[in-house]
Amino acid sequence: MISTSVKDNEAAKFKNTNDGTAVRVATSGDMSGILKDVSYDDIQAAYPNDTTEIFTYILGSIDQATITVTYTDSTKNFVARIRRT
């Protein structure tokens, strides 16, 4: 049962680890998505032009996946395509 206490719910977002405190991450939705089964410890972003963003997912200095987000125009209000390469 979910607590109605804001303090309890905020505290539940964190967990203790051997080297400090970490934020809990929950996965929901389609698990067969664009990054299914990709492990990574770093994400690098590049912005080659006004309508493109490129995100490279890296594990131990080795590229695991690259996601390119293309927008319809420079306002970035509408996505034209998201592609994994």
Output the six-digit token pair for 43: 């994400």
Q: What is the rounded CA–CA span in Å between residue 3 and residue 38?
A: 33
Give per-residue pLDDT as tens, 69-84.
999 999 999 999 999 9
47 in a structural domain: yes
Domain assignment present for residue 21? The answer is no
Q: What is the mean pLDDT of the chain?
A: 85
The helix or strand, by DSSP H or E, that contains position 79, with its residue range, turns out to be strand 79-84
- Domain of 52? 29-84
In a domain, 5, yes or no: no
In a domain, 58, yes or no: yes
**79, part of any domain:** yes
pTM of the model: 0.63
Total count of domains within the chain:
1
Write out pLDDT tens, residues 42-56: 999 999 999 999 999
